[in-house]
């Protein structure tokens, strides 16, 4: 089936009109029957370091974002989503999945991550949806509020919000955890969620959904991630409290709690170098997860099929027990 050539304008706040390509030629997808313990059997993380915020483009081995395997079925057709941290990792996999399910998407990410963001925008462009690229710093309250305003204007509304952008830097001794890192982690992970959600609420109609990214760290905090784990526990509580407040308005709030997932977060001092080679091996599945394995959870919580799911934290962690 022929398609109209897409508009290829890009940049800060530029709306990209999409066209849908012909049928894909996937041989496997997220529905393919497989043994999860053997999935990604050839994946071998290696010691490596990137300066913050890190890039998928330089990650070795590459993370699976579902580029070649996520098959959409129209579950989010006509929906309009804002996703933070959408350039790489879980956010990028979710953005690809949303686009292939038919949603228009506004992407938030740091300006330094533009190379990753433009690649993801192109993949979404191929799915035939509208995409906005809106770089900025989540620690900036003004940016967060402006982000929502631009997304609403550019997409013509908003009915899915995914607060996913995050910061994780390990520290082995509270005595050396300085105020700046503690503040940056809370502003990125918690304050931004508050600012963006508050700004989005006037635009969310009944049926809309908010999905926050928490972590297994909220339940099993590592001794080297005191600040990060604290933010994730906060996100859990925020999610469950806000869910009760908004349920009568028909707005659902839920969270996804990833386990050890292979993303640039891990190699930008998210983990000590000596732990990267064995990253994820402590899970019952015996391996790290891939961002592509998270995307279906976000699609489920964003779609109408989860209409009775409110205040839930959906754990996607390779089998680690949680409350």
Distances (CA, A) of 63 to 40, 120, 307: 10, 13, 31
Dist. CA 1–CA 3, nearest whole Å: 7
- Are 49 and 9 contacting, i.e. CB atoms less than 8 angstroms apart? no
Q: Which residues contact 11 (CB under 8 A, 6 or more apart)?
A: 133
Q: Determine the 3-state secondary structure of 313 from DSSP.
A: strand
Q: Which residue has the tokens 């933070």?
A: 84
Dist. CA 319–CA 259, nearest whole Å: 9
Rounded to the nearest 5°, which phi and psi values hold at 41?
-65, -25
Please calculate the CA angle 245-314-55 and round it to the nearest 5 degrees.
Answer: 105
Q: Determine the 3-state secondary structure of 136 from DSSP.
A: coil
- Are 170 and 118 contacting, i.e. CB atoms less than 8 angstroms apart? no
Answer positive or negative: Cα dihedral of 278, 85, 228, 312: negative
Dist. CA 322–CA 306, nearest whole Å: 21
**Of these residues, 191, 228, 298, 308, which one is catalytic?**
228
Dist. CA 197–CA 131, nearest whole Å: 20
Answer positive or negative: Cα dihedral of 75, 80, 81, 86: positive
Q: Measured between alpha carbons, how far apart are the two ends of the chain, in Å? A: 49
Active site residue 298: no
Dist. CA 170–CA 226, nearest whole Å: 8
- H/E stretch holding 210 reads strand 209-213
Catalytic residues: 228
């Amino acid at each position: 089936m022929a398609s109209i050539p897409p508009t290829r304008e890009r940049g800060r706040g530029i709306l990209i009109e999409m066209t849908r390509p012909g049928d894909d030629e996937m041989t496997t997808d997220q529905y393919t029957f497989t043994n999860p313990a053997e999935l990604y059997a050839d994946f071998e993380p290696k010691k490596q370091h990137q300066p913050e915020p890190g890039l998928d483009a330089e990650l070795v081995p590459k993370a699976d974002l579902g580029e070649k395997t996520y098959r959409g079925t129209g579950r989010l057709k006509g929906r309009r989503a804002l996703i933070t941290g959408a350039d790489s990792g879980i956010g990028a996999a979710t953005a690809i999945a949303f686009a292939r399910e038919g949603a228009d998407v506004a992407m938030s990410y740091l300006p330094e991550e533009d190379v990753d963001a433009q690649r993801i925008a192109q993949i979404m462009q191929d799915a035939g949806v509208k995409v906005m690229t809106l770089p900025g710093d989540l620690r900036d309250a003004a940016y967060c509020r402006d982000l929502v305003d631009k997304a609403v204007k550019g997409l013509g509304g908003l009915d899915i919000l995914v607060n996913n952008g995050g910061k994780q830097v390990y520290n082995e001794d509270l005595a050396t955890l300085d105020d700046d890192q503690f503040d940056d982690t809370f502003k990125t992970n918690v304050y931004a969620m508050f600012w963006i959600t508050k700004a989005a609420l006037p635009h969310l109609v009944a049926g809309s959904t908010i999905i926050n990214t928490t972590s297994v760290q909220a339940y099993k905090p590592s001794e080297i991630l005191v600040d990060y784990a604290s933010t994730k526990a906060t996100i859990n509580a925020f999610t469950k409290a806000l869910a009760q407040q908004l349920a009568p308005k028909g707005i659902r709030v839920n969270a996804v709690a990833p386990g050890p997932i292979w993303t640039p977060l891990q190699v930008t001092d998210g983990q000590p170098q000596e732990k990267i080679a064995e990253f994820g091996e402590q899970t019952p599945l015996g391996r790290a997860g891939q961002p592509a394995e998270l995307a279906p959870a976000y699609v489920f919580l964003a779609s109408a099929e989860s209409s009775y799911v409110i205040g839930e934290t959906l754990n996607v962690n390779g089998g680690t027990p949680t409350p």
